[in-house]
């Protein structure tokens, strides 16, 4: 399999290093994972590869179950020289390590998978943070503090994030042709999987205003090559808006709205799912809208929130009030 500069790691030319580059190339080319996802795998697995080198394991075939368990204990406490990981980060690291060892077994690099019986560290299941409907409204209003091109773009961007529940990478990756005239948008999720998501009237109006009154202005700021870009959301240089710039747009709007809590693009995704389920949407419909491979991932949004508990208690208990 051909490797590129994107697949290079900080490990040496040992059997472990070569196996890691082959696995990253597999994730990028054969599984079609995004650059950001492959980068996350690279970070986790480079740390694991460095640990294996430190304990004298020259190939994945030499790694035992005890080695994997010792690695998890080391990264949990930071004993390998890196920062200590939380239980959730340890679980993510184990998932990356397990995927690599399974690949090695399938490719004949190793006979056994030493991660097969290794359990992920226990962790407290927390409710995803979601904004109230009122807070979302204030946030969206704050995004359009003005009538200039960037204000119209910012409002359309955040309206579309909340209306579709899309990931920030999916939204900034949209092209103009992905926004259909049938009140729906095509999103391309993990592994390039496509899904069609309805778009609400507020988002449709915001996107239409942006396309008519703002995008042509932003496009004209770029070069002739930039003006022909199919990207939906553009920066002030006429190029596709980056994930980092979209984060900045959201942060500025949250500050203007006076929201004390931390707000990220995923906060709007969580709010989208929580508000749909609270409004009576079926969990499997929400699963399809979010692009979750398993309904188990979506079911976390069905957990009863403290606010809902208080409301039911106050309404039902004879001595609550």
DSSP 312: H
Active-site residue, from 43, 193, 266, 284:
266
**270 catalytic, yes or no?**
no
User: For residue 5, what are its two tokens?
Assistant: 């500069």
**41 catalytic, yes or no?**
no
Active-site residue, from 129, 138, 190, 195:
190
Active-site residue, from 26, 28, 153, 269:
269
Report yes or no: 123 and 255 within 8 Å, Cβ to Cβ.
Answer: no
Which is nearest to 240 in space by CA: 292, 193, 173?
173
**292 catalytic, yes or no?**
yes
Report yes or no: 105 and 111 within 8 Å, Cβ to Cβ.
Answer: yes
Exposed, middle or buried, 143 (CB in 10 Å: 0-12/13-18/19+)? Answer: buried
Active-site residue, from 101, 167, 215, 275:
167
Computed over its alpha carbons, how large is the radius of gyration of the chain? 23
Active-site residue, from 23, 48, 51, 301:
301
Provide the 10 A C-beta neighbour count for residue 264: 14
CA atoms within 13 A on the CB side of 28: 21
Report yes or no: 216 and 226 within 8 Å, Cβ to Cβ.
Answer: no
Report the phi/psi class of residue 120: left, alpha or beta, with left for phi > 0 and alpha for psi in -120 to 50.
Answer: beta
Active-site residue, from 101, 153, 155, 292:
292
**193 catalytic, yes or no?**
no
Which is nearest to 215 in space by CA: 203, 201, 228, 200?
228
Residues with a known catalytic role:
167, 190, 266, 269, 292, 301
């Amino acid at each position: 399999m051909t490797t590129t500069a994107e697949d290079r790691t900080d490990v040496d030319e040992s059997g472990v290093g070569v196996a890691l580059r082959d696995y990253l190339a597999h994730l990028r080319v054969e599984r079609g994972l995004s650059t950001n996802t492959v980068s996350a795998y690279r970070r986790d697995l480079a740390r694991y590869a460095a640990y294996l080198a430190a304990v004298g394991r020259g190939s994945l075939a030499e790694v035992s179950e005890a080695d994997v368990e010792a690695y998890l204990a080391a990264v949990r406490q930071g004993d390998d020289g890196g920062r200590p990981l939380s239980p959730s980060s340890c679980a993510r690291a184990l998932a990356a390590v397990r995927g690599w060892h399974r690949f090695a077994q399938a490719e004949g690099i190793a006979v056994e998978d030493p991660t097969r019986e290794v359990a992920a560290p226990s962790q407290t299941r927390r409710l995803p943070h979601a904004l109230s409907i009122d807070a979302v409204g204030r946030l969206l209003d704050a995004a359009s503090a003005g009538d200039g091109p960037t204000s119209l773009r910012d409002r359309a961007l955040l309206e579309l994030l909340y209306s579709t529940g899309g990931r920030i990478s999916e939204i900034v990756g949209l092209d103009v042709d992905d926004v259909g005239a049938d009140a729906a948008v095509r999103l391309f999720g993990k592994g390039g999987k496509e899904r069609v998501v309805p778009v609400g009237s507020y988002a449709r109006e915001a996107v239409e205003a942006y396309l008519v009154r703002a995008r042509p202005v932003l496009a004209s700021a770029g070069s002739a090559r930039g003006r022909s870009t199919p990207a939906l959301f553009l920066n002030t240089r006429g190029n596709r808006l980056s994930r980092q710039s979209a984060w900045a747009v959201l942060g500025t709007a949250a500050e203007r709205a006076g929201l004390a809590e931390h707000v990220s693009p995923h906060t709007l995704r969580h709010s989208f799912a929580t508000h749909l389920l609270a409004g009576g949407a079926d969990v499997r419909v929400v699963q399809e809208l979010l692009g979750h491979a398993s309904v188990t991932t979506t079911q976390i949004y069905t957990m009863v929130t403290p606010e809902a508990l208080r409301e039911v208690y106050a309404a039902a208990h004879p001595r609550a009030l």
